[in-house]
Amino acid sequence: MNNEIKNQTIFKNLLIETERLIIRPYQLEDTTDLFNIISEPNFYDYIPETPPSLKEVGEIIQWSMDCNNKNTLEKIYKLNLGIILKESNCFIGFCGLGPYDLDSTKIEIYYGLKKDFRGRGLTTEAAKALLDYGFSTLRLDEIVTTVFPQNTPSVRILEKIGMTKQYSIITPPKEHLDFQGMDYYTISK
């Protein structure tokens, strides 16, 4: 199998199935669903950036699709994925892997779920499946992330999927001051 076909299979045609979820690359028709999720009250409480507009969400989805055309095992530009609830075929959230802002040689995991679906173990299920995919298919050696310690639901998810806190970020670089006070977590293959 040549590299181009292999990359299309690994990134563009990615399909992760769990007991309750289907995890797949963003599609343009996800724009409104994704916008509605990230527009929920308090969704951005622990995300150090401002929520995008509907138009910007569409641009992010298109950019994500373009990244899947460029992603390789050697370089992941961004792997943004939709989380679909099997029983209703409903878009309920997102997860993904991409370069970590404070050290682009590391790959970060991230996730977000519609409020109505939180507290059911679905985010943990998606994150665990994505970690498994990252280690087994993408052959990553380590996956990292950061979280504000007061975001206790996310901290619990990280602990459930086996990630461990390494340290707290006290003095981030000036261009990343919004990371101050976050905890840095890792997991290795």
CB 108 within 8 A of CB 187: no
Helix locations, the chain, DSSP H: 3-7, 31-38, 54-70, 122-136, 152-160
- Is 171 part of a structural domain of the chain? no
Task: Report the CATH number at residue 103.
Answer: 3.40.630.30
- Is 81 part of a structural domain of the chain? yes
Closest CA to 107 of 86, 79, 136: 79
- Is 129 part of a structural domain of the chain? yes
Tell me what pLDDT residue 163 has: 98
Q: Which structural domain range is residue 134 located in?
A: 3-146
Angle at the Cα of 101 from the Cα atoms of 97 and 103, rounded to 5 degrees: 95
Please check the confidence at residue 125 and state whether its pLDDT lies above 70. yes
- Is 170 part of a structural domain of the chain? no
pLDDT digits (tens, 9 = 90+) for 5-45: 566 678 888 999 999 999 999 999 999 999 999 998 888 88
Number of domains in the chain: 1
> Taking residues 96-117, what's their average pLDDT?
95
Supply the pTM of this predicted model: 0.92
- Is 47 part of a structural domain of the chain? yes
Please check the confidence at residue 48 and state whether its pLDDT lies above 80. no
When the pLDDT of each residue in the chain is averaged and rounded to a whole number, the result is 92
- Is 13 part of a structural domain of the chain? yes
- Is 58 part of a structural domain of the chain? yes
- Is 24 part of a structural domain of the chain? yes
pLDDT bin (cut points 50, 70, 90) of residue 50 is confident
